[in-house]
Structure 1
Amino acid sequence: MNLFNLKPWVYYYVALLKRLGPVKFSLVLAFAIIAADAALQISLAYIFSEPLHKADVYRSLSLGLLITPWAVYFLTVVVNDLDNARQRLATTVKKLKKISTDDKAKTSLLEKEIVEHQNTQQQLREGTSLLRSFFDTSPDLIFHRDLEGRFVSCNKAMGRLFGKTEAELVGLAPEDTYPEEYAKEVTARHQKVIKTRTEQIHESWLQYPNGHLVYFEIRALPLLNSQNECVGLIGFGRDITERKKHQEFLEKASRDKTTFISTISHELRTPLNGIVGLSRMLLDENLNEEQTKYLKTIHMSAITLGNIFNDIVDLDKLDRRRLNLVNECINVDDFMNDLQSLAYIQAEQKNLKLVFEQKPNLPECITSDATRLRQVLWNLITNAVKFTEQGQVTIRCSGSIHEKQKWLCFEVEDTGVGIPTDKLDKIFAMYYQVEGSRHASGTGIGLAVSSTIVKAMNGRLTVSSELGKGSTFKLCLPSSCLAPELKKEPLKMPTLSILLVEDIELNILVARASLEKQGHHVDVAMNGLQAIEKVANSQYQLILMDIQLPDMDGYEVTARLRELYPQLPPIVALTANVFASPQQFIDKGLDDAIGKPLSLSSFNTMLERHFTKDVEAMPIVLNEEIVKPVESEEMLFNEVMLKELMEFLPTSVMLDNVTLFENLMPEYLAILESHMMAKNEKGIVNKAHKIKGAAASVGLLRIQDLAQKMQSPDLPAWWDNIDDWHELIKSLYLKDIKELKKWIVANA
Structure 2
Amino acid sequence: MSIFNLKTWVHYYVSLLKRLGAFRFSLLLALAIFTADAILQMVLAYYFNDPLDIVDISRSIILGLLITPWAVYFLTVVVGDLEEARQRLDNTVARLQVMLATDQQKTRELESEMIERQKSQKLLQEHTILLHSFLDTSPDLFFHRDLKGAFVSCNKAMELVTGRTAAQLIGLTPFDIYPDEYAQQVVKRDQKAQETEQEQIHEHWLHYPDGRQAFFEVRALPLYNVKHVCVGIIGFGRDITERKKHQESLEKASHDKTTFISTISHELRTPLNGIVGLSRMLLDEQLTTEQTKHLKTIHMSAITLGNIFNDIVDLDKLDRRRLNLVSNDIDMLDFISDLESLAFIQTEQKGLTLHFEQTDVLPNFIQADDTRLRQVLWNLVSNAVKFTEQGQVTIRCFCEHEGTADEHLCFAVQDSGIGIPADQLEKIFAMYYQVKGNRHATGTGIGLAVSKQIVDAMQGKITVTSEVDQGSTFKLCLPVKFLEQRINKPIEPSKLPALSILLVEDIELNVVVAKALLEKLGHQVDVAINGEQALQKVSEHRYQLILMDIQLPDMDGYQVTALLREKYQDLPPIVALTANIFSDKQDFTKKGMDDALGKPLTVRSFNDVVRRFFTQLKPQESLIITPDKLKADPVEPLFDSAMLLELMEFLPTTVMLDNIALFTKLMPDYMRILDSNMVAKDKLGIVSEAHKIKGAAGSVGLKRIQMLAQKVQSPELPAWWDNIDDWVELMKLNYESDITELKKWVVKQGR
TM-score of Structure 1 vs Structure 2, range by shorter chain? 0.5 to 0.7
- Cα-to-partner distance string for 1:217-248 (whole Å, 9 max, x where unaligned): xxxxxxxxxxxxxxxxxxxxx99999999989
* In structure 1, C-alpha distance between the alignment counterparts of 2:695 and 2:303, rounded to whole Å: 39
* In structure 2, C-alpha distance between the alignment counterparts of 1:359 and 1:566, rounded to whole Å: 66
The reply to whether residue 728 of structure 1 matches residue 713 of structure 2 is: yes
Match of 1:541 in 2: 544
What secondary structure, in the 3-state scheme, does the structure 1 residue paired with 2:575 have?
Answer: strand
Match of 2:374 in 1: 374
* In structure 2, C-alpha distance between the alignment counterparts of 1:677 and 1:87, rounded to whole Å: 104
| Alpha-carbon distance change, 518 to 455 in structure 1, aligned in 2, over 3 angstroms | same
* In structure 2, C-alpha distance between the alignment counterparts of 1:733 and 1:79, rounded to whole Å: 121
| Alpha-carbon distance change, 29 to 520 in structure 1, aligned in 2, over 3 angstroms | farther
What secondary structure, in the 3-state scheme, does the structure 2 residue paired with 1:479 have?
Answer: strand
- Cα-to-partner distance string for 1:33-56 (whole Å, 9 max, x where unaligned): xxxxxxxxxxxxxxxxxxxxxxxx
* In structure 1, C-alpha distance between the alignment counterparts of 2:707 and 2:725, rounded to whole Å: 25
Which moved further from structure 2: 581-590 or 248-257?
248-257
What secondary structure, in the 3-state scheme, does the structure 2 residue paired with 1:481 have?
Answer: strand
| Match for residue 715 of structure 1 among 700, 703, 721 | 700
| Alpha-carbon distance change, 378 to 515 in structure 1, aligned in 2, over 3 angstroms | farther
| Alpha-carbon distance change, 367 to 435 in structure 1, aligned in 2, over 3 angstroms | same
Which residue identity does 2:471 align to in structure 1? G
TM-score (norm 1): 0.55
> What is the root-mean-square deviation in Å for CA atoms of aligned residues?
6.4
Shift of 1:74: 1.9
- Identity in percent: 43
The reply to whether residue 435 of structure 1 matches residue 436 of structure 2 is: yes
Shift of 1:574: 1.9
Native 8 Å contact 1:418 1:470 kept in 2: yes
| Alpha-carbon distance change, 69 to 727 in structure 1, aligned in 2, over 3 angstroms | farther
What are the ranges of 5 or more consecutive residues in structure 2 without an aligned counterpart?
A: 1-6, 15-29, 42-57, 132-192, 203-233, 286-294, 625-629, 632-636, 638-661, 675-689, 727-751
The reply to whether residue 274 of structure 1 matches residue 277 of structure 2 is: no
- Cα-to-partner distance string for 1:45-69 (whole Å, 9 max, x where unaligned): xxxxxxxxxxxxxxxxx99997774
Shift of 1:595: 1.6
The reply to whether residue 75 of structure 1 matches residue 71 of structure 2 is: yes
* In structure 1, C-alpha distance between the alignment counterparts of 2:338 and 2:703, rounded to whole Å: 34
| Alpha-carbon distance change, 677 to 445 in structure 1, aligned in 2, over 3 angstroms | same
| Alpha-carbon distance change, 559 to 271 in structure 1, aligned in 2, over 3 angstroms | closer
Match of 1:581 in 2: 584
Which residue identity does 1:335 align to in structure 2? F
What secondary structure, in the 3-state scheme, does the structure 2 residue paired with 1:349 have?
Answer: helix
What secondary structure, in the 3-state scheme, does the structure 2 residue paired with 1:412 have?
Answer: strand
- Cα-to-partner distance string for 1:346-403 (whole Å, 9 max, x where unaligned): 3333233333344662222222222222222221222122112223333333344331
Shift of 1:426: 1.5
What secondary structure, in the 3-state scheme, does the structure 1 residue paired with 2:108 have?
Answer: helix
* In structure 1, C-alpha distance between the alignment counterparts of 2:246 and 2:320, rounded to whole Å: 14
* In structure 2, C-alpha distance between the alignment counterparts of 1:519 and 1:495, rounded to whole Å: 6
Shift of 1:447: 0.8
The reply to whether residue 110 of structure 1 matches residue 106 of structure 2 is: yes
Which moved further from structure 2: 371-380 or 491-500?
491-500
Shift of 1:121: 6.7
Match of 2:447 in 1: 446
Shift of 1:441: 1.6
- Cα-to-partner distance string for 1:322-341 (whole Å, 9 max, x where unaligned): 42122232222333333334
* In structure 1, C-alpha distance between the alignment counterparts of 2:712 and 2:724, rounded to whole Å: 19
* In structure 2, C-alpha distance between the alignment counterparts of 1:280 and 1:728, rounded to whole Å: 36
Native 8 Å contact 2:417 2:472 kept in 1: yes
| Alpha-carbon distance change, 251 to 509 in structure 1, aligned in 2, over 3 angstroms | farther
Native 8 Å contact 2:608 2:619 kept in 1: no
* In structure 1, C-alpha distance between the alignment counterparts of 2:302 and 2:620, rounded to whole Å: 38
- Cα-to-partner distance string for 1:477-523 (whole Å, 9 max, x where unaligned): 22223431444445566654433334556655654565567665544
Which residue identity does 2:539 align to in structure 1? A
Which residue identity does 2:455 align to in structure 1? V
Which residue identity does 2:578 align to in structure 1? T
TM-score (norm 2): 0.54
Native 8 Å contact 2:410 2:477 kept in 1: yes
Shift of 1:89: 6.9
Alignment of 1:135-284 (within 5 A): 257-258=253-254, 260-278=256-274
* In structure 1, C-alpha distance between the alignment counterparts of 2:256 and 2:326, rounded to whole Å: 26
Shift of 1:425: 1.8
Alignment of 1:335-354 (within 5 A): 335-354=335-354
* In structure 2, C-alpha distance between the alignment counterparts of 1:718 and 1:245, rounded to whole Å: 37
Native 8 Å contact 2:530 2:555 kept in 1: yes
Alignment of 1:50-129 (within 5 A): 69-79=65-75, 82=78, 104=100, 107-117=103-113, 120=116
Matched residues, number: 534
Alignment of 1:395-406 (within 5 A): 395-404=395-404, 405-406=406-407
Match of 1:479 in 2: 480
Match of 1:591 in 2: 594
* In structure 2, C-alpha distance between the alignment counterparts of 1:339 and 1:513, rounded to whole Å: 29
Match of 1:361 in 2: 361
Alignment of 1:500-539 (within 5 A): 500-502=503-505, 507-508=510-511, 511-512=514-515, 515=518, 521-525=524-528, 528=531, 530-539=533-542
* In structure 1, C-alpha distance between the alignment counterparts of 2:703 and 2:622, rounded to whole Å: 18
| Alpha-carbon distance change, 465 to 85 in structure 1, aligned in 2, over 3 angstroms | same
Native 8 Å contact 1:685 1:712 kept in 2: no
| Alpha-carbon distance change, 307 to 505 in structure 1, aligned in 2, over 3 angstroms | same
| Alpha-carbon distance change, 494 to 722 in structure 1, aligned in 2, over 3 angstroms | closer
| Alpha-carbon distance change, 684 to 553 in structure 1, aligned in 2, over 3 angstroms | same
Shift of 1:432: 1.0
| Alpha-carbon distance change, 739 to 213 in structure 1, aligned in 2, over 3 angstroms | closer
What secondary structure, in the 3-state scheme, does the structure 2 residue paired with 1:402 have?
Answer: coil
The reply to whether residue 461 of structure 1 matches residue 457 of structure 2 is: no
